[in-house]
Every structure is written in structure tokens, then in C-alpha cells.
């Protein structure tokens, strides 16, 4: 018989213990990879480089490439010059089959001014337009790749070619989290987007910083319901941890085992915290209706947005919502009219999220980020083409909340929305700004790996001071 930490263990090893129904119930899908490496508290709240204006982030990712010129970047010249042939003077255009000649294509939705700021937004986003006085809209975004996979990877990791830690991983690594019974980094998505799990990977950062995927449905986190009473479950977990500790003491490289041990504790805590976080029954009828959520709903972008607010309320540091719902994605090669259903799916919930956070006083320390991986071309190879192609040279993103100026636009594209021209903002600049709002000098938030110091912004990036309050 062995006695460890006051627990008697007889005829038992790690393998037999893992066969226990209780231990098995703790191995939650998506959680065992989101683990702590040791007992020093890597998820405990940490001191940032300077006082943070934002404590949490809700990152809204519209996968597929939203057309900037049809949503948040009005271009009257496109109406004036519709059908006009322009010179394909950029090498990337010249190399595309069928693009020997290109023609300007006008937007299919009208723009109008909104709020006291008078910022113009198209009819695709009426609910977001009603919140325009809380937004800082960046109209001069640009990125480094025109493929979905690479541009999506870049927007999430700062790398356009190889896997690197996600922005959510960097933030939880730098800040820790508040609620130790919930992961610090949660991704809510009906299905994977381009680049798959790499968009929320910890890569070389500690495994605790891996994002936890939550799939909307009747059981958003699998196996979260305990199979035994809490006190008995605690005894079995203590016994399992004791055996693991003995196993670890006899070996040198125990990072993975320590991570797994911490996962059991995280899962144990989540059995108490997760059902409450995703139980909308205590939300008012007015709140549910504002998000376009039925009390019995377990899916939809409104459900994702309300879940994000509830997770942030409970101390989750970084929540990403990926729009990969039943309406497809924003990749409108064949027909721009697909933007109608896509915008309708997300517009009301996003507007409700901003208003709800504001009404609760949460927008003061929560940063809301809305983005896509690139824009869509203001031209096509025929004047009457229904769709638009990938466009990395210009697109729009916006931020709202903690530390962000309200009711402004920043940067400009040319008169046709072809290229970002004034106050250009690259993805690295975008990331540097988000980190700054969270209290980090992006050049100093680094991690030593393979002989060099890595950071989210690679070797570039400047804070966009023009949008800071």
C-alpha cells in the first residue's frame, strides 16, 4: 500500500485509475489540450507592462472576406465609374487567369450616415449602424496574402505561412485569466474555418494557452455533467492526482503529464461553471429578443454573442466568435447577394452585444473587435460579373470599447476602394494596437523558442494611436 498526500492507494496504477468512470468523465473534449504546465499558476492574473484599458476581448471573425466597399467603406466613384475598364497594373492582377482586362463594379447596397458622428454604413448592417457612435472603424486595413488559409492564419497568429500561437494564446499567456474554473481562451464556432485548429493553437506557448473550442448545440462542451456526487468525485480525482505525482517524480520531462494533471482540475471546475455559463434561462425576455435568441435556442450567431457576454462576465479573458453558420461564409465569388443572408445572420446579434455590454457597464473594460481576413475586389473581369474576388490590398475592421475612440473612421482607401492609401494599417499594426489596449508593449511580449524570441507581431507592427482614446 502507498500513501501519498493522505490518500491510500492499493493495487492501483494510472492506467486502472483512468478506467474509472469518474476520471473518464473528466476528460472533456477540447479541454485536455488547454492545460497548465505546473503548479505556479500560469493562468493566474498577471501584471501587464503598463495599466491595461481593456481586461477582456470579444473577437468577432467574419470568415471568407467581407466586402469593404459594400459595408463600411462608401465609394461614390464606383457608382460613377461602374463598368469602366482600369489598367491591371499590379503583378498579382496580371498573373490571375482571366484578368487581362478588369472593370469596376459598383456596390449593390446604399450607404447613409448614422448617429451623431454621421458615419456612413450600408443597408447590410442596420443594427451595427445604430451603434456607430461607439465604433472606431479602420478603413485602411491591408494584409500580406490573398489566399483564405494564409490570410486567416495571419489575422489570428501574425504568421502567413506557418503555424504560430494565436492572438488569444498570446493574451492569456501575458495576462492569465480570472476564473480558474473556465478556460482563459474560448472559441465558439459551429465548424472550423480556414486554417482549422491553427487559428486557436498555442503552438510553442504553454499548453494552458490553447483555445478551447465550444460548438453551439445541446451540449456545447461534451461530457460536462458529472456522473458521481461531487464529494466522491473529489476523492477519486485526488487519488488520480497522487498517482500522477508519483509517476512524475520518477521522470525528468513531465510537462505533458503536469499539463494533463492540471486538465483534470480544470475539468472538475468546469463541471460546476460551464452549465451556468451556457444556461440562458435567467436572461430576460427582452435580452433574448435583442440577440434574436429563443429560450430554447442552442445555436445561431445570436447564441454565440450572448454566450460570449456571459463568459466574459465570468472572467474568461479572450472569446472568439467565428461566423461559420448555415449561411456559408463571406467568400462571394459567384454572387455578392450572398452577403444579404450573411449580414442578416450577424447584424442584430452584434448590435445587441455592443448595447448589452454598454448597458451593463462592461464595454468600459471589454474590447470588441470585428474583422475578416481580407476584402473583396472593386472590380471583376467583366462589367456585369455578379461576384467579387479576394482583395488583400484594402479592407475594413472596427473596434469598440475599452480605450478606443468613439464614432470615428481612421484611414482611407483610394476613390475606388482598390488600395489603402492614407494611414495604412497592416495586420501587424492591428495586433500591436489590440495588445497595447491590453497593457502590452507588443515588442516586449515575447517567448523564447528554438533559439530566438518570438512575438505576435513578428518583427513589425506599430500601435495605431489615432484610434486610442
Give the model confidence (pLDDT) of 81-125 as tens digits: 999 998 766 655 655 666 667 899 999 999 999 999 999 999 999
* Separation between Cα atoms, residue 417 and residue 69, nearest integer Å: 6
Beta strands at 85-86 and 408-410: parallel, antiparallel or unpaired: unpaired
For residues 440-450, average pLDDT: 97
pLDDT band at residue 36 under the 50/70/90 scheme: very low
* pLDDT value at residue 19: 44
Beta-bridge partner residues of 332? none
pLDDT at 391: 96
Question: What's the confidence (pLDDT) of residue 249?
Answer: 83
Residue 302 has pLDDT above 60, yes or no: yes
Asked whether residue 129 carries a pLDDT value surpassing 50, the answer given is yes
Residue whose cell numbers read 482614446: 469
Q: Which of 118-132, 373-387, 427-441 has the lowest mean pLDDT?
A: 373-387
Report the pLDDT value the prediction gives residue 104, as an integer from 0 to 100: 95
- Helix or strand run (H / E) with residue 140: strand 135-142
Residue 166 predicted with pLDDT over 70: yes
* Lowest mean pLDDT, pick from 171-180, 262-271, 344-353: 262-271
| All cell numbers assigned to 252 | 525528468
Most confident among 167-176, 221-230, 238-247 (mean pLDDT): 167-176
Structure-block grid coordinates of residue 181: 474554473
Task: Report how far apart, in Å, the C-alpha atoms of 210 and of each of 3, 23, 63, 264, 315 are.
Answer: 34, 22, 20, 15, 17
pTM above 0.85, yes or no: yes
The pLDDT score that the predictor gives to residue 88 is 62
Is residue 429 within 8 Å of residue 461, measured between CB atoms? yes
- Mean pLDDT across 435-462: 97
**Pairwise pLDDT comparison (396 vs 10), residue with the higher score:** 396
What CA–CA distance (Å, rounded) separates 169 from 380? 38
User: Which pLDDT score, from 0 to 100, does residue 27 have?
Assistant: 37
CA dihedral 218, 220, 224, 225 (to 10 degrees): -10
Q: Where are the beta strands (DSSP E) in 196-253?
A: 212-214
Lowest mean pLDDT among 93-107, 288-302, 410-424, 436-450: 93-107
The per-residue pLDDT for range 56-73, each reduced to its tens digit, is: 999 999 999 999 999 999
The pLDDT of residue 408 is above 60: yes
Average pLDDT, the chain: 88
Q: Is the pLDDT of residue 75 over 50?
A: yes
Amino acid at each position: 500500500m502507498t500513501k501519498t498526500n493522505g490518500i491510500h492507494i492499493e493495487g492501483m496504477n494510472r492506467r486502472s485509475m483512468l478506467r474509472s468512470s469518474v476520471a473518464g468523465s473528466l476528460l472533456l473534449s477540447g479541454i485536455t489540450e488547454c492545460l497548465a504546465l505546473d503548479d505556479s499558476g500560469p493562468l493566474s492574473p498577471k501584471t501587464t507592462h503598463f495599466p491595461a484599458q481593456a481586461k477582456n476581448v470579444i473577437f468577432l471573425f467574419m470568415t471568407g472576406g467581407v466586402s469593404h466597399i459594400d459595408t463600411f467603406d462608401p465609394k461614390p466613384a464606383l457608382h460613377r465609374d461602374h463598368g469602366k475598364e482600369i489598367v491591371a497594373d499590379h503583378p498579382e492582377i496580371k498573373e490571375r487567369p482571366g484578368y487581362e482586362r478588369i472593370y469596376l463594379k459598383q456596390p449593390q447596397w446604399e450607404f447613409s450616415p448614422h448617429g451623431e458622428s454621421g458615419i456612413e454604413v450600408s443597408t447590410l448592417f442596420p443594427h451595427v449602424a445604430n451603434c456607430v457612435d461607439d465604433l472606431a472603424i479602420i478603413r485602411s486595413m491591408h494584409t500580406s496574402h490573398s489566399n483564405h488559409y494564409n490570410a486567416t492564419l495571419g489575422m489570428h497568429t501574425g504568421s502567413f505561412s506557418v503555424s504560430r500561437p494565436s492572438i488569444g494564446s498570446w493574451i492569456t499567456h501575458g495576462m492569465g485569466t480570472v476564473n480558474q474554473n473556465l478556460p482563459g481562451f474560448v472559441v465558439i464556432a459551429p465548424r472550423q474555418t480556414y486554417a482549422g485548429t491553427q487559428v486557436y493553437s498555442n503552438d510553442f506557448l504553454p499548453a494552458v494557452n490553447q483555445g478551447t473550442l465550444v460548438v453551439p448545440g445541446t451540449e456545447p462542451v461534451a461530457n460536462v455533467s458529472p456522473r458521481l456526487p461531487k464529494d466522491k468525485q473529489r476523492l477519486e480525482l485526488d487519488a488520480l492526482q497522487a498517482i500522477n505525482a508519483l509517476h512524475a517524480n520518477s521522470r525528468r520531462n513531465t510537462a505533458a503529464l503536469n499539463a494533463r494533471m492540471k486538465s483534470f482540475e480544470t475539468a472538475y471546475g468546469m463541471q460546476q461553471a460551464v452549465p451556468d455559463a451556457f444556461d440562458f434561462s435567467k436572461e430576460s425576455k427582452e435580452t433574448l429578443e435583442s440577440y434574436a435568441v429563443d429560450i430554447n435556442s442552442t445555436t445561431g450567431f445570436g447564441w454565440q454573442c450572448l454566450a460570449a457576454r456571459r463568459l466574459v462576465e465570468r472572467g474568461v479573458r479572450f472569446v472568439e466568435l467565428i461566423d461559420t453558420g448555415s449561411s456559408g461564409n463571406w467568400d462571394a465569388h459567384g454572387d455578392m447577394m450572398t452577403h444579404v443572408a450573411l449580414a442578416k445572420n450577424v447584424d442584430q446579434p452584434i448590435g445587441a452585444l455592443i448595447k448589452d455590454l454598454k448597458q451593463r457597464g462592461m464595454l468600459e473594460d471589454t474590447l470588441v473587435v470585428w474583422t475578416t481576413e481580407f476584402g473583396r475586389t472593386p472590380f471583376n473581369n467583366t462589367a456585369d460579373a455578379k461576384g467579387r474576388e479576394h482583395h488583400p490590398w484594402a479592407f475594413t475592421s472596427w473596434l469598440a470599447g475599452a480605450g478606443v475612440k468613439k464614432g470615428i473612421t481612421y484611414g482611407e482607401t483610394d476613390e475606388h476602394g482598390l488600395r489603402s492609401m492614407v494611414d495604412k494599417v497592416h495586420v501587424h499594426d492591428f495586433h500591436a494596437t489590440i495588445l497595447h489596449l491590453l497593457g502590452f508593449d507588443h515588442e516586449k511580449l515575447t517567448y523564447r523558442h528554438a533559439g530566438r524570441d518570438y512575438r505576435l507581431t513578428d518583427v513589425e507592427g506599430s500601435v495605431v494611436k489615432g484610434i486610442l482614446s
